[in-house]
Amino acid sequence: MEERSLRISGANGTFLNRLTNTLTKLISPTKEGINSMLISIKRNNLLKAYDSYLNAEDQEAQEKKYEEAYTAYLEVLDKYTLSSIYKKVNDGVATDFQSKALSQYYGIIQLKENEFIEYKYRKQKYLLELDNETVRLINKDKLTTRYKKFYIAKMDELYKRILKNYSIKLADNTSSYDSTKEFIFTKVFITLEDYIKNVLVLKTEDKENKQYQDAVEAYQKFERFIVGKLDTRDIIEKNMVLLEISRKLFTHSLPLVVAEQCYLKLLKDARCLVQDSKIATKRENAYMMLINLIEDYNIRLLSTKVYWEDLKEREDFKKFLDKFKEIEAKKEIDFEEYMKQKEVLFIKNDLKKLDGQKQDYTTLTKYYKRKLVDYGVMREIKNSAAGKYGEKEGVCKFTGKSVKLLKNAG
């Protein structure tokens, strides 16, 4: 009897035991299964409310129902999704996406105490990204199509609010954010890049979207920076493209006054790269990038500026712009001469802006002047008294003023 009893209690491999286990799984769903079911219910309610809101004649009445459904959906995501991911990570069965998501969550939580506005928007964005991945894995065409429409619209809204929050800080003329502005610039560029990789790419898949053509063009410009390791010059060029794209997609979230600060930050980085580069080829490549950046800043941005605090600065820019237009007229006649004169104009304009800068641009100034001498714009008068790397006197052909140049500079 004892032997028979032991056999029954330990018979894990018997047909009866396997049947019992199967029935248990069917009758008593797991906690994870219940959580998924609750999320699915709230997601479906949200998508119905969103469709009703879009198609309603009186959108204001439907908007409240949509917002209530969205709030309920976020609450259930916050309550159940993270616990499910945490369990998978603990059990060692989480995907790479889920593992990264958990570490990102802790970074978002840290914002709550000191940066509540950013925390509020980033947490919503984070929860939507998690459920978007779930919808992708479910792989049901009808659900994917409906959810994608909502997801793109809501993510657009959240990214705009995040960038608007950064803009307010960058536009603050008080000293409140002086110490953190460099970090805010970095966050602006990271957010723009994140948007292109995760949201804009979805817009390029939908040809019926009104922004489809703009999305494709913007993504194609950025695409070359996605693959491979980027050096400092690549990163500056990438941020130039991001700013250019932002002027079309985030005009109100990143207003001109903030975009101007972002350009000035890139100009500073590019100037430093030129003068810090020790290898001639790298310095020349960095220099050509700087020339392109100067053109973007002046022609793409400042030419659209309406309000100027400094009237003299506005008049100086008008003269610069008139000169640029005069040079541009030669583009079809003599392209090589056009490129040369344009480069000279940009160098002379930037030399003026280097005066009074906190950053020491002595090396860059010498490099610029060497370029002017090479182009025949500035004459070089040899000074026999000077040493191998001594100073020489140069006379600018345009102003007639004498300037000092470092021998063999650049």
What secondary structure does DSSP assign to 235-273, as a single string? HHHHHHHHHHHHHHH-TTTS-HHHHHHHHHHHHHHHHHH
Distance CA 353, CA 317 (A): 12
| Residue 58, pLDDT above cutoff 90 | no
The model's pLDDT over 173-203, given as tens digits with 9 standing for 90+, comes to 665 555 678 899 999 999 999 999 999 888 8
pLDDT of residue 22: 57
The model's pLDDT over 282-338, given as tens digits with 9 standing for 90+, comes to 999 999 999 999 999 999 999 999 889 889 999 999 999 999 999 999 999 999 999
Helix ranges (H only) for 140-231 are 141-171, 181-195, 201-203, 212-223
Give me the sheet containing 391-396, strands edge to edge.
Answer: 378-381, 391-396, 402-406
DSSP percent split of the chain into helix, strand, coil, nearest 5: 75, 5, 20
- Burial class of residue 159 (count of CB atoms within 10 Å of its CB; 0-12, 13-18, 19+): buried
CB 351 within 8 A of CB 372: no
Higher-pLDDT residue of 141, 174: 141
Least confident of 91-105, 252-266, 271-285: 91-105
Helix ranges (H only) for 56-115 are 59-91, 96-109
Distance CA 149, CA 142 (A): 11
Mean pLDDT of the chain: 83
Distance CA 278, CA 286 (A): 11
The whole-number average pLDDT for the span 76-100 is 78
Distance CA 293, CA 391 (A): 30
Higher-pLDDT residue of 274, 224: 274
The encoded tokens of residue 277 equal 């580069």
Distance CA 255, CA 304 (A): 12
Distance CA 325, CA 332 (A): 13
CB 21 within 8 A of CB 27: no
CB 168 within 8 A of CB 221: no
The encoded tokens of residue 388 equal 């191998």
The encoded tokens of residue 210 equal 């009104």
CA distances from 60 to 45, 147, 212 (A): 18, 22, 28
Which residues, at least 6 apart from 260, have a Cβ–Cβ distance to it below 8 Å?
301, 302, 305
- Burial class of residue 262 (count of CB atoms within 10 Å of its CB; 0-12, 13-18, 19+): buried
Write phi, then psi, for 348 (nearest 5 degrees). -60, -40
Least confident of 190-194, 353-357, 388-392: 388-392
Q: How far is CA 400 from the centre of its chain?
A: 45
Q: Which helix (H) or strand (E) holds 393?
A: strand 391-396
Amino acid at residue number 192: L
Q: Parallel, antiparallel, or unpaired for β 402-406 and 378-381?
A: unpaired
Q: Which long-range contacts (CB under 8 A, 24 or more apart) does 189-195 make?
A: 189/239, 189/242, 189/262, 191/159, 191/162, 191/163, 191/166, 192/163, 192/242, 192/243, 192/245, 192/246, 192/250, 193/222, 193/238, 193/242, 194/159, 195/155, 195/159, 195/249
| Residue 116, pLDDT above cutoff 80 | yes
The whole-number average pLDDT for the span 367-387 is 76
Distance CA 404, CA 369 (A): 9
The encoded tokens of residue 108 equal 């978002």
